[in-house]
Every structure is written in C-alpha cells, then in structure tokens.
Chains A and B, each alone.
Chain A
Amino acid sequence: MATTLNESPPESRTARTGSGGRRRRRRLNLLPYLLVLPELVAELLIHIIPMALGVWIAFLSLNQLSIRHWISAPFVGLTNFRNGLDPSTAIGSQFFQTLGRTAVYTVLVLGLCWLLGTAAAYFLNSQFRGRGLLRALYLLPFALPVFVSAIAFAFMFNQRDGIVNKVLVDELHLVDDRPFWLIGSNAFVTLVIASVWTAWPFAFLLQLAALQTVPDEVYEAAALDGAGRWRQFFGITLPMIRTPNVVMLLLMFLATFNQFTVPYVLFGVSPPSEATLMSPLIYQFSFGNWNFGLGGAVSTLLLVLLFVVSAVYIRLVMPKERPGHA
C-alpha cells in the first residue's frame, strides 16, 4: 500500500498503451522538471549560492580587515580547518566538545519531542469531549514567538526569583540550596527542557496529520480479528505512518542540530560552556570574533558531517526498491 520515497512509480498506463503514447511520454518528461523549476530557482538564489559562498569563505582569511573587499580576501587554504580541528588547541577542543554535546542534545530533544508528540496525537485521535480544545491548546505554544517562550523559561529557571526554585525549595522543600539552572551543568538540562517545550508541537502537528492517513476501516478490520489497542498501535499505526515519520525525524534532527534561537535567547551571546551548541559556537566565531574564515570552516565540516549522516540514514530507512509494491 504505502509507497516509499524516490521509488519508481509504475509507468502510467496511458503512457504505455494507446495511440499518441510516444508524444505523451515526451510531454511527461518535461513536466517533472517544470514542476520543480520554481523551487530550483528559489533554492539557488537564497540557499545554494550563499552556502557556496559560506564554504568558499572557509578557505579565506576573512576578518574585519578584509571584509569590505571580501572578494579579494587572502586565500589561506586549509588553515582555518586546521585551527578548528586541532584537538590540542583551545578552539579545536572546544569544537569537538561542542560537537559531542550537540549530538547528545539532539538525540534527547528529538526523542522526547517524538514521544510527546506521538502520545498526544494518538490520544487526541480518539473521541472524547474537549479534544478540540486540547488540540488547540497544544498548538498554542506555536503561536508564541520562540523568542518569548525562551524568555519565559529564563524567568522560570531564575535561581532567585523563578517559579521552579520557588516550588522546589520554598513550597515542596525537595532541595535545601537553591540550585542554579542557567549556569553550570544544570544549564544543559534547562536547555533541553526549553527546546522540547518549544519544538514538540511540531511533532504533534505532523503526527496528527500522519495519523489521518490511516483509514478507520483498517482498524475495524483488525479489531474484528481480535487485535487490542496496543497491537493495533504497534502493528498497524506505526508501520503505516512510517514514511512521514521517518522524514519528520530526519528534518527535526537537522533543525535541532542547528538550533540557534533557544540557546541564544536563554543564555545570550555568551552561553555557559556546558550548554554551548554548534550554531551559537559558530556565531561566536563569525560574528563575535570577526573570524569568518573559522566560522565558515566549522560550518563546512558540519555540512559534510550532517550530509554523511543523512545519506546513511536515507539509505537505511528509505530504500530504493521495496518488494511487494503493487
């Protein structure tokens, strides 16, 4: 039933048979290209060329002295890459630590978002009074700019005045000393919580839509066969929403890995070292230290890394041929 991505769909019957088949096939060949043309043009201008520029900058020594005439900035080959990747220097070790930290952060946030989103979507898919209201409520964090939500979290986790410590220390007496949440190793926890809160509605929204693609008849048939709710969920629902889920996980993985706004608003331009992610680090290199070459080099490395990860992922979960396609 469900097709896989990029798999060759069967040739349309009308193209193969009947008169004018040849003419039809030629016209059909232009159509796909025409359909992607607007996207191609937009991508080239706004994404591809800037990215190419960004990668090229990695090979230049670009700082405040050369930025005005950036086209003629000195070419320094792999120097920026060497500076960024040498684990014995302050910069290099910072790069690797941040890379590892960002990976852990991404897995945690992604996992929690997916769990919450799927659970909420699943339960809200069943009939009960007030589900429309809840659906709207869960989407409400969306309507708020991420920037404001992050500020709310900064308020909540403030050591002296925040609600979290007020509840933990003053009201529930679970801890004696007021812990710090925005500095030190706790900062990472706060970052994860704030990120999950702002991002899980995406997963929720997409899962809601994905669940709609499973027709009721399928569940009814399974119920007749005696399958309980859990069997239905794991045996039918999950496999049937696999394709949108697999894509969603990949896209959310990339977006979370490159997350900038939440840590930037929570911690400002100088985040605690225990909670620094890749994007803020690159921002520090490029815009904070005017070392655009280094920022570009780190970004290029990131690009290569993520590309490899994505390619492997796609190959594993979105294979080209899948047996059994009708």
Chain B
Amino acid sequence: MRDTVSFRVLRAAVLTSITAMVLLPLYVIVVSSFKPLADVSGPFTWLPDRFTLEPYVQMWSTIPLARYLANSVLVTSVSTLLALTIAVLAAFSLSRLRWRGQRAFSLLVLSTQMFPGILFLLPLYLIFTQIQRTIGVQLNGSYAGLIVTYMTFSVPFATWMLMGFFAAIPDDLEEAAMVDGTTRLGAFLRVVLPVARPGIVAVGVFTFLNGWGEVLFASVLTTRETRTLAVGLQAFSTQTDVRWNEMMAASIVISLPVLVAFLLVQRHLVQGLATGAVK
C-alpha cells in the first residue's frame, strides 16, 4: 500500500498524541520513584529536586517484595495457562460445533460478567471453607485457591473473545484439512489454532495481567506466605507513613519482567494470514 503524505502526517499526529497521553502518568510514576518521600508529597516537580535511589533499595525491606513477586508469577502464570486451555477448548466447541444447549451455555458464561465482582468475595470464601471442612482440601490461603479463582474469573472473557476470533476464521480452513481424514478437533488444533494465534496471545496477555493486578480476592484468599504483589503493594501504606516513592519504585521494578515478556511475545500478535492459509 502506498503511504501518502497526508496519511503519514495523520499517522504521526495521532500516534504522537496517544504516546504523549500514555507517557504522562508513566512519567509521573517514574520520576516519583526517584524522589525522597518529602518531595513526593509536595508540589509536583518535573525533575527531582533531590535525586535519590533510596526508594529502590528500601522497598525490598519494607515489604518482602521478592517473595510476593515469586507468588504472583506462580499464581498468575498457572492460572493463565489453565484458563487459556479451558477457554480455547470451550470456544472451539461453542463457535465451530453445533450442539443442543450451546447458546444457553454461552449465555450462562456471559452472565457471570454481569454480576459485580465484589459480591463473589464472601460467597466464594464460604464455599472454600465448606470444601475444606468436607473434603479437607485447603483452598483458602493456598496457591490452589487463588489459581482456581483467577482462572475462573478469566475464563468467561477469554471464551467469548476467542469465540469472536474463531468465528472470524472461515470454515474452509478446517474443511480443507478434513478432506485428508482428520477429525474436526484435529483440524482445529492443527490448522485453525495457528491462524488464531494473535487472538490467543492477546487473550492470554489480558488474562495474565488481570490476575497480576487483582487485589480484592488476593487480600482475602492469601496468607503471609502466599500473598501476591498487588496486595503486597498496599502494605506500603502503613500506620505512620505512605511510602509513595517506594510504591512507585516497586511498581516499576515488577513491571519490567512483564514488559520484557511482552516484547518477546508481541511478535505473535502480528502473525497474519499472509502465509497463504486462504485457499
């Protein structure tokens, strides 16, 4: 496609404004992480009056950041993988196959998004407690409980989004593969999934980040050992101080590995049908 000058100008204008909008709060966070606490609580200055690395050092001892980081990585990765697997299978079934009750099921799944998340908190806690009492499986305060919770919260969104992506892929792809005798499921796995990869990656990223930043359930379902980052960050706000600068520093540090993971994963977001999968 030829890129006309007007197109390029428009593109530059739009992208510059968006970039500025994205950068501003990020800049506030970054610059605050290099200021001593007194300066952060005062009037905002574009550059630190007194530059310090102290927050980056202090934050590891104010809260056990390393442990929280490990917990978050564990819980979020596992729940994302599980959620994706379940959602991919279910989305395939709901969008590519035909069976009784499929519309009802998909609406049931969707309806879980219509209930305010906060009201799941107490009943969930009660259910976990009951399970613990009846069959002895500890879900409150364990990794398993949080993983199952996060996984289930992501699954409806993941399923519906994947349904949308799968539906946009023509049936002909599978049919072409099935001519060779493979089953519908096999065709799906071998041909459709690779084509749907950008969608799956996008949904996976979204699911991961949802769990990464989740606070409410983690605050109730974790203990000292299993506490995740998002809840841990709140501990920078204590009885005597609110250590904004350390909190900002911690947020940046914990976001870096996520960012790196992104950079690795993002090329999968741009793989299209250019490989000639269309017949």
A–B direct touch in complex (beta carbons closer than 8 A): yes
B-contacting residues of A (Cβ < 8 Å)? 1-6, 8-10, 12-14, 28-29, 31-33, 35-36, 38-40, 42-43, 45-51, 53-54, 70, 116, 119-120, 123-124, 126, 128, 132, 134-149, 151-153, 155-156, 160-163, 166, 197, 202, 205-206, 208-210, 212-217, 219-220, 223, 229, 240-248, 250-251, 254-255, 258, 260-261, 278-279, 282-283, 286-287, 292, 295-296, 299, 302-303, 306-307, 310-311, 314, 326
Q: How far is the CB of B65 from chain A (nearest CB, A)?
A: 13
> 9 closest pairs, A vs B, by CB?
A247-B164, A50-B123, A46-B152, A145-B213, A306-B114, A35-B93, A143-B258, A209-B198, A244-B164
Known: A161-B44, A310-B110. A126 touches B273 (CB 8 A): no
Chain A residues lying within 8 Å of B90, measured Cβ to Cβ, are 35-36, 38-39
Known: A38-B89, A136-B263, A213-B272. A278 touches B258 (CB 8 A): no
**CB–CB A143/B262 < 8 A:** yes
Apart from A6-B102, A42-B148: 14 A-B pairs, beta carbons within 8 A: A3-B171, A8-B98, A32-B93, A43-B156, A50-B120, A51-B123, A142-B258, A163-B28, A206-B206, A212-B198, A258-B114, A258-B116, A261-B215, A279-B118
Chain A residues lying within 8 Å of B215, measured Cβ to Cβ, are 145, 147, 261
Q: How far is the CB of A32 from chain B (nearest CB, A)?
A: 4
**CB–CB A31/B185 < 8 A:** yes
| B235: Cβ under 8 A from any A Cβ | no
| B143: Cβ under 8 A from any A Cβ | no
| B105: Cβ under 8 A from any A Cβ | yes
**CB–CB B118/A283 < 8 A:** yes
Q: How far is the CB of A246 from chain B (nearest CB, A)?
A: 7
Contact string against A for B residues 73-101, beta-carbon threshold 8 Å, 1 for contact and 0 otherwise: 00000000000011101101111111100
Alpha-carbon distance between A148 and B119 when the two chains are bound, in angstroms: 23
Alpha-carbon distance between A215 and B198 when the two chains are bound, in angstroms: 13
Alpha-carbon distance between A282 and B121 when the two chains are bound, in angstroms: 13
Give me 19 A-to-B residue pairs in the complex whose CB atoms sit less than 8 angstroms apart, sorted by A's number: A3-B167, A38-B89, A39-B86, A43-B112, A46-B148, A46-B152, A51-B115, A54-B120, A144-B29, A145-B233, A148-B251, A208-B202, A212-B273, A213-B272, A243-B168, A258-B114, A260-B118, A278-B116, A282-B119
Kindly identify which residue among B4, B206, B216, B266 contacts A136, using a CB–CB cutoff of 8 Å: B266
Chain B: interface size category: 35 or more
B residues 147-188 touching A (CB-CB < 8 Å): 148-149, 151-153, 155-157, 159-161, 163-165, 167-172, 175, 178-179, 181, 184-185
B residues 197-231 touching A (CB-CB < 8 Å): 198-199, 201-202, 205-206, 209, 212-213, 215-216, 229-230
| B106: Cβ under 8 A from any A Cβ | yes
**CB–CB A155/B44 < 8 A:** yes
Alpha-carbon distance between A190 and B63 when the two chains are bound, in angstroms: 31
